[in-house]
Structure 1
Amino acid sequence: MNISVVIPLLNEQDSLTELHDWIARVMLTNQFSYEIIFIDDGSTDDSWKVISGLASQDIHVKGIRFLKNYGKSQALHAGFEKAQGEVVITMDADLQDNPDEIPELYHMIKVEGYDLVSGWKKKRYDSVLSKNLPSKLFNWAARKTSGVKLNDFNCGLKAYKLEVVKNIDVNGEMHRYIPVLSKNAGFRNIGEKVVQHQARKYGVTKFGIDRFLHGFLDLITIWFLSRFGKRPMHLFGALGFVMFTIGFAFAFYLGLDKLWFNPEGRLITERPQFYISLSTMIIGTQFFVAGFLGEIILRTKQDKKRYTIKGALNLN
């Protein structure tokens, strides 16, 4: 199979049939073998009914239905698990991503040899205050923090080699950082393509300012995980050692001062500097223990299921 199109969605009943027909037309024109995997992330409208109707008419359509809304990252994770195509394309279901971009994205993966190609919505039709400005700030911070030089981390239209999506773990709100996750997994040939962005035709956007706040917090998380996720002792142990050493050295100095230089002065326990040094040693010890516990948890953790699937269509 050439292409798997993975489409997470929430309450997009009006756009699904048009999106399916558009994708099918592109695939037929380019003679691709393909599958379309819709992941209904707990929709409360008739989205699953529409997907069921499409699946009954078209064997290329497959569906996954979550019991409730778990988030886009969990939906992508479920779609990646089921994808079988040599190239995996992700796109949003709101018709703002253009399926006509698929052939070129496929070419960049299969012929030009990229591991991942991310779309860049250079010209956007979103509100300037609610999405454009926060998105620019977010993308700047993501580039500086991750070292991945992309202009648009948020674009849902991306293409991957199959082995990439099978070797990354997308959770929380980490769908924004799939290029970073891919880089951390060893897939460093990451490209970017300017893609056409279209104004939303149906419904309303599901993204607000709070999503970007969560995105920045996740950016800090992924920075930490990429640098210390597999060796927490390297961070917490080092901090603990430095703080304990500083506190101990200060306490040792106070002891020498009392013993040799100022024997008639106040007791060490009457000096506030002693409690500062003691607190520093205690905090240093706690940091060290945190690193040690992190190492134990890392070696004993078991993967837990992060979502519950209520129904599936045309999946083996």
Structure 2
Amino acid sequence: MISVVIPALNEEATVAHVVQVARRHADEVLVIDADSRDATAQVASDAGATVLNWRDIMTTPPLPGKGESLWRGVHAAQGEVVVFLDADLQRINPDIVELLAAPFEDPSIHLVKAAYERPMTDGSEGGRVTHLTARPLLQLLFPELAHIRQPLGGEYAIRRSTAEQVPFVAGYGVEVGLLIDVARRYGPRALLEVEAGVRTHRNRPLHELSSMAQEVAATILQRAGQRGIEVTQRPALKG
């Protein structure tokens, strides 16, 4: 069984498209709504998703951040494989769920990342935090992961049993934290990339990217053992 978890906060313009893509190959599509102030929840429900407010999944009050929605989504999901998709996608391979889920036929695979091109509306290449923060730090501190093209991409899949054994950073460091933690626990060969074509999404303003870069850098440095750096995270669900 394949579950798709879509974290969403005020994404009424794009969430229906993402749900429709997810439903092509998923057995369960969950939209985890982080108290959206727009019609995200209704639009997602109309598109065929099961919409869960993040406060209703657990009695523990939510921490701010995308990773919190993913952590709660894993708790709610029923599938053996959990596929994460961002809710702000404007263009993505329509078979992304199948592409990400297929490699789990190999029992040695625990995490599958999507690799794709990220053109921006002005024709330049996207992924500024990826290229300027995440990949340089991974190359220096975790060279065994330096080949991963999109370490911060929100389109990836994980075994639910694996996701339950690792912590989830509450904020934007969640993707790179999972990448490092799964590689440490199961070895770099447990990670796989699949080609997924072209991906476009809502481009964030520079001030948002600055805080994202700080969270990503803090997560990598903390995982590398840098003293004095703390990141807010949830413990493993079944650690």
Tell me, yes or no, whether TM beats 0.5. yes
Q: What is the total number of aligned residue pairs between the two structures? A: 218
Shift of 1:84: 1.9
Per-residue deviation, 1:37:
0.9
Residues 99/4 of structure 1: CA separation in 2 closer, same or farther (3 Å cut):
farther
Residue in 1 aligned with 2:197? 196
Separation in 1 of the partners of 2:217 and 2:9?
A: 27
Quote how far apart the aligned CAs of 1:151 are: 1.3
- Per the TM alignment, residue 224 of structure 1 is displaced from its structure 2 partner at its CA by 4.2
CA distance in 1, matches of 2:71, 2:121: 27
Q: How does 1:258-297 map to 2 (within 5 A)?
A: none
Aligned identity (percent) is 19
Residue 5 (structure 1) shift: 0.3
Partner of 2:73 in structure 1?
Answer: 79
| Unpaired segments ≥5 residues, structure 2 | 56-61
Structure 1's 198 and 172: CA in aligned 2 closer, same or farther, altered over 3 A?
closer
The 1:132–1:174 alpha-carbon spacing in structure 2 relative to 1, beyond 3 Å, is closer
Please tell me the residue identity of whatever aligns with 1:115: H
Runs of 4+ in 1 over 6 A off after TM superposition: none
* Partner SS state of residue 153, structure 1: coil
- Post-superposition offset of 1:119: 1.1
Instruction: Tell me the equivalent position of 2:104.
Output: 109
The alpha carbon displacement at 1:48 in A equals 1.4
* Offset of residue 192 of structure 1: 1.1
**Structure 1 CA distance for aligned equivalents of residues 224 and 130 of structure 2:** 25
Provide the C-alpha distance between the structure 2 equivalents of 1:211 and 1:36, rounded to a whole number of angstroms: 28
Judge conservation of contact 1:122–1:194 (CA < 8 Å) in 2.
no
Deviation at 1:112, TM superposition (A): 7.0
Work out which of the two has the higher radius of gyration on C-alpha atoms and give 1 or 2.
Answer: 1
Correspondence 1:141-220 to 2 at 5 A: 141-144=136-139, 145-147=141-143, 148-149=145-146, 150-170=148-168, 171-177=170-176, 178-186=178-186, 188=188, 189-200=190-201, 204-205=202-203, 207-220=204-217
TM-score, normalised with respect to structure 2:
0.75
Contact kept? 1:8, 1:41, Cα under 8 Å: yes
In the aligned structure 2, how far is the partner of 1:53 from the partner of 1:104? 25
Change (3 A) 1:98 1:82: same
| Contact kept in structure 2, 1:115 and 1:187, CA below 8 Å | no
